[in-house]
Structure 1
Amino acid sequence: MTMSISTGLVSGMDTGALVSQLMQVEAAPQTALKAKLSATQTTATAYRTVNTALQALTTAADTVLKPETWTSTKGTSSTGSVTVAAATGAATGSLTFTVTSVASTHSTVSTTRWASTTTAANLTDIEVRSLDGATSKGTIALDGTESLDQVAAKVNGSKLGLTAAVVQTGTNVFALQISADASGKNAAFSLGGTESFKAASVGRDAELKIGTTADAYVVTSSTNVFQGVLAGTTITVSKEETAPVTVSVVSDPDAVTTKVSALVDAVNSALDTIKKQTNNTPGSTAALRGEYAVTQISGQLLEALSKAVGADSPARIGFELTRDGKLTFTKDKFTAALKDDPALAQTLMAGTPASNGPDGVVGGGDDVAAVPGIAERLRTAAKTASDATTGTLTSLATGQDSMGREIQDRIAAWDVRLAKRKQMLTRQFTAMETALSSLQNQSSWLAGQLNSLS
């Protein structure tokens, strides 16, 4: 039950304010707990902020370590009307051809013209056949009562691979055009029935004549897209080309450089995040100020970047550390190294796997241990800290969460305790006011009695 606080009409004291002030004193431990909860939550958020940066670093390192990264290719074409896209892992090579035709869609138009699209068109069943008329594909049932619009709707709903449209060829003059849904020779058709149709366009395949000698051969496609003529590539043509066209799939060192550069950006982002969250300079309010468990991660990342891989220095492929603990990356130097000695560049970044040595026997005494490269070392350091189940930062953040839940329970217990204390104080002050009121009444009565005696 809620009890109102006496306003001190008898005592003259502001008892409501007194209770509020007393409750502030009583709530001091809970206020301290709330401050501690806020600090705990801020610390957990800071751990997760660093964790997110390290997870991004792990992802970037994983990308660099993928074998297909080091076989990146790109497609080139000698003319703008032919494009070539190389998929991941596409083999290098080239192809020369002429584009003897491009794909087209078969389309027909009715010989009859109508003055209205909403009155009966007097069309009966339309049979759909192959282009040579030898094979029936199905029949569109009509009884002559359908309007031109209704005929078009029935064609579109026939599921025979056709699309119909009513076209206006003049003032109040309409025709029915029926086209194949797909381009290419196999989608071409002929129509039978009471209405005759003329071909507006003939469906044909795109053709590439590969080679320039008598042994040249033809490759066809129902669309203008050719898949796998060169392994792992997609060739798209847009017009006929009588002059020879050469398409090639070549190595793409710039793509490798871009992925390595993304790794460098992820490293610097992680280092910046750690520095910001652990800033230990005078006056710093960083949530993880001077936290060794976090600052040591920076040391691990810097060590991964500075140590030689085997006998080779990371500086050979453009990696250098600055005095303020950041990584610089010279893209041109890396690209040049990748072109001049791709094996060295890959070894420095991805390392070398373990082997059984010259004798090929496990444990033969000449086994060669794996040598982790820069990307693998960075990945290991980042993943050790940020792994979703075993990462040190994950554990630290989870620990803060547990502490926060415990503090919240204690705060909730204080809510109950303070509510009871406030209720007790309210009763005490109310009782005081009641007693004072009673005494005041007795005093007035006694004064009245004395006055009557005199």
Structure 2
Amino acid sequence: MGMAVDGLISGLDTTSLINSLMQAEAIPQTLLKNKVSDSTTYISAMQALNTKIAALADLATTTSKPAGVDLHTATSSSTSVVATATTGATDGTLDFTVDKLAQAQVTVSAPLTQWPDQPPVLTFVAADGTTTQVTAASSSLADVAAAINKAGVGVSATRVSAGLDPSTGQQQYRLQLSSTTTGAAGSFTAYRGTPAQVTAGTATDLLSEPGAAQVRAAQDAQVTLWAGTGAAQTVTSSTNTFADLLPGVSLTVSAASSAPVTLTVARSDSAISDVANSLVSGLNDIFTYINQKNAVTTSTDTAGGTVVSSGPFTGDSTVRDATQKLASAVSTPINGLSPSTYGISMTSDGQITFDKDKFAAALAADPEKAKAALQTVASRVADAANVVSDKYDGTITSKIAGEQSTVKGLNNQITDWDTRLADRRSTLEKTYANLEVQLQQLQSQSSWLTGQLAGLSTSSS
């Protein structure tokens, strides 16, 4: 904390004087702070650019692979069948009928006021013959249901109200048991008794008790290919989704029907065109951002003068090199043909245009050649983008790391200046405080001398 040294004797505003002197002393530190501010702005802009280029590298890498442009659509003739084409799909058609939907088993017990055994012991036998014993804490049906749910036997239990016992008037409940997965593999049998009793044949099957019932049997979904012909073939799935009827095509059925369904798989020119357009859009986003950060702006200062400010990328060789690499990747001829043959062109202002109609025409004329051209451009762009944005040794990545190191050094210097300036202020405050003391002493001496001289004059008279 500074000393209060405003001139009591000198009348000087020493606080303002010291502050003015300190402003001059702090000029080197202010310059360092301005440099840190400029560098921080530059680093932020470069990091944003690096993120954009890295995203482009990922997109271009995906596009350069066969699966990136081997795109198809799958459609069905029925609204109850949803088809989706994925990697590896090929053109073709397939006829089938949907015979059954997959479903989980649901079984309900007879109406009960409480479990008839104490302690309640149940054994579940899965479709593969696996047996699991469940023991409940009490004969309460709520406790029995909780024990089943906790046991992890692939069966969920719910206590459902079943009215009043006609003899006693007590509230009755049914225990609803449902397999947790669909398909025949989720079927189960529930017994009252231990696994040993089940093996011995002395356990009671819950379904054998009066009032118990199987509401729904576990079953797989089933379709029949080429139904009604000598080649008819059934295919099952534990869910309502079939992933292997055709390579790269997934089917999800929602209703059974004897009416035939036709599945059609065809190359998706629109999807391939969208991929090309996404690549061009990614490049344009980068070029537009670079142009914005390269722009020189003018403003007016408080005195009315014109101030010219350069952008963070103005004159930056690293950014210029990145721009040239990406531009070259997208504009270099492909097997002697300009990319514009496939609708990809570079304008005079450095932007890339994509002509969907031209690309569609090239794709229709020679699909494999057009897709190969797109893959070539994508591969070049991916290589250029990776050189620039690689997280270990990309040119922009390295530039950012170097600038961050510089900022760290500048901040250390600024911290050193804080100490130096604090010492300098302390010195100035002490100097001016001592000045006030000296002036006070001189003033006291002056007053004494004046008094002495006045005394001598009186004596002489």
Q: Report the TM-score, using the length of structure 2 for normalisation.
A: 0.83
**How many angstroms does 1:328 deviate by?**
1.1
Q: Deviations over 1:103-141 (max 9, x none)?
A: 222112122243xxxxx543443343468xx95723433
Match in the other structure for 1:231? 247
**How many angstroms does 1:32 deviate by?**
1.7
Q: Which moved more, 1:88-97 or 1:413-422?
A: 88-97
Work out whether residues 110 and 177 of structure 1, in 8 Å CA contact, stay in contact via their aligned partners in 2.
yes
Structure 2 CA distance for aligned equivalents of residues 152 and 300 of structure 1: 67
Work out whether residues 312 and 348 of structure 1, in 8 Å CA contact, stay in contact via their aligned partners in 2.
no
**How many angstroms does 1:342 deviate by?**
1.4
Q: 1:211 aligns with which of 226, 232, 239?
A: 226
Letter aligned with residue 202 of structure 1: A
Is 2:141 the counterpart of 1:128? no
Unaligned runs of 5+ in 2: 165-170, 193-203, 299-307
Structure 1 CA distance for aligned equivalents of residues 332 and 186 of structure 2: 63
Q: 1:130 to 1:17 in 2, by over 3 A?
A: closer
**How many angstroms does 1:331 deviate by?**
1.8
Work out whether residues 99 and 241 of structure 1, in 8 Å CA contact, stay in contact via their aligned partners in 2.
yes
How many residues in Structure 1 have an aligned counterpart in Structure 2? Answer: 423
Letter aligned with residue 99 of structure 2: T
Is 2:171 the counterpart of 1:155? no
Match in the other structure for 2:167? none
Structure 1 CA distance for aligned equivalents of residues 79 and 251 of structure 2: 12
Structure 2 CA distance for aligned equivalents of residues 186 and 39 of structure 1: 67
Is 2:390 the counterpart of 1:374? no
Unaligned runs of 5+ in 1: 115-119, 351-372
Is 2:158 the counterpart of 1:165? yes
Structure 1 CA distance for aligned equivalents of residues 391 and 340 of structure 2: 33
Q: Which moved more, 1:60-69 or 1:247-256?
A: 247-256
Is 2:416 the counterpart of 1:390? no
Is 2:311 the counterpart of 1:286? yes
Q: Deviations over 1:261-303 (max 9, x none)?
A: 1110111111112212222577453122233443354344334
Work out whether residues 278 and 295 of structure 1, in 8 Å CA contact, stay in contact via their aligned partners in 2.
no
**How many angstroms does 1:4 deviate by?**
1.4
Match in the other structure for 2:216? 201
**How many angstroms does 1:173 deviate by?**
4.3
Structure 2 CA distance for aligned equivalents of residues 31 and 173 of structure 1: 85
Work out whether residues 330 and 377 of structure 2, in 8 Å CA contact, stay in contact via their aligned partners in 1.
yes
Structure 1 CA distance for aligned equivalents of residues 382 and 130 of structure 2: 63
Equivalent residue runs for 1:14-93 within 5 Å:
14-93=13-92
Q: 1:139 to 1:260 in 2, by over 3 A?
A: same
Q: Match of 1:164, SS?
A: strand
Letter aligned with residue 400 of structure 2: A
Q: 2:335 aligns with which of 310, 315, 318?
A: 310
Q: 1:392 to 1:192 in 2, by over 3 A?
A: closer
Work out whether residues 206 and 221 of structure 1, in 8 Å CA contact, stay in contact via their aligned partners in 2.
yes
Structure 2 CA distance for aligned equivalents of residues 140 and 47 of structure 1: 63
Q: 1:324 to 1:164 in 2, by over 3 A?
A: same
Structure 2 CA distance for aligned equivalents of residues 249 and 398 of structure 1: 50
Q: Deviations over 1:345-367 (max 9, x none)?
A: 123223xxxxxxxxxxxxxxxxx
Match in the other structure for 2:180? 181
**How many angstroms does 1:9 deviate by?**
1.0
Q: Match of 1:7, SS?
A: coil
Q: Which moved more, 1:297-306 or 1:327-336?
A: 297-306
Q: Match of 2:156, SS?
A: strand
Q: 1:164 to 1:49 in 2, by over 3 A?
A: closer
Work out whether residues 165 and 177 of structure 1, in 8 Å CA contact, stay in contact via their aligned partners in 2.
yes
Q: Which moved more, 1:407-416 or 1:77-86?
A: 407-416
Q: Deviations over 1:194-215 (max 9, x none)?
A: 6623212222221111212133
Structure 2 CA distance for aligned equivalents of residues 153 and 53 of structure 1: 53
Structure 2 CA distance for aligned equivalents of residues 210 and 7 of structure 1: 101
Letter aligned with residue 241 of structure 2: V
Structure 2 CA distance for aligned equivalents of residues 130 and 439 of structure 1: 110
Q: Between the two proteins, what is the percent identity of the paired residues?
A: 35
Structure 2 CA distance for aligned equivalents of residues 112 and 268 of structure 1: 71
Q: Match of 1:112, SS?
A: coil
Q: Deviations over 1:379-419 (max 9, x none)?
A: 33333333334333333333323332332232222222222
Structure 2 CA distance for aligned equivalents of residues 155 and 130 of structure 1: 14
Work out whether residues 79 and 245 of structure 1, in 8 Å CA contact, stay in contact via their aligned partners in 2.
yes
Structure 1 CA distance for aligned equivalents of residues 390 and 191 of structure 2: 68
Q: 1:229 to 1:411 in 2, by over 3 A?
A: same
Structure 1 runs (4+) greater than 6 angstroms displaced: none
Q: Which moved more, 1:389-398 or 1:58-67?
A: 389-398
Work out whether residues 297 and 311 of structure 2, in 8 Å CA contact, stay in contact via their aligned partners in 1.
no
Match in the other structure for 1:402? 405
Letter aligned with residue 155 of structure 2: L
Structure 1 CA distance for aligned equivalents of residues 47 and 348 of structure 2: 27
Structure 2 CA distance for aligned equivalents of residues 57 and 130 of structure 1: 51
Match in the other structure for 2:260? 244
Q: Report the TM-score, using the length of structure 1 for normalisation.
A: 0.84
Q: 1:320 to 1:215 in 2, by over 3 A?
A: closer
Match in the other structure for 1:263? 279
Letter aligned with residue 177 of structure 1: Q
Work out whether residues 46 and 396 of structure 2, in 8 Å CA contact, stay in contact via their aligned partners in 1.
yes
Q: 1:16 to 1:72 in 2, by over 3 A?
A: same
Q: 1:157 to 1:398 in 2, by over 3 A?
A: closer
Equivalent residue runs for 1:305-454 within 5 Å:
305-350=330-375, 373-449=376-452, 454=458
Structure 2 CA distance for aligned equivalents of residues 57 and 140 of structure 1: 56
Work out whether residues 156 and 164 of structure 1, in 8 Å CA contact, stay in contact via their aligned partners in 2.
yes
RMSD: 2.7
Structure 2 CA distance for aligned equivalents of residues 318 and 428 of structure 1: 78
Q: 1:421 to 1:103 in 2, by over 3 A?
A: same
Structure 2 CA distance for aligned equivalents of residues 90 and 63 of structure 1: 17
Q: Deviations over 1:79-112 (max 9, x none)?
A: 1111222332234443221111112221121222
Structure 1 CA distance for aligned equivalents of residues 59 and 367 of structure 2: 20
Letter aligned with residue 208 of structure 1: V
Work out whether residues 306 and 314 of structure 1, in 8 Å CA contact, stay in contact via their aligned partners in 2.
yes
Letter aligned with residue 316 of structure 2: E
Letter aligned with residue 363 of structure 2: L
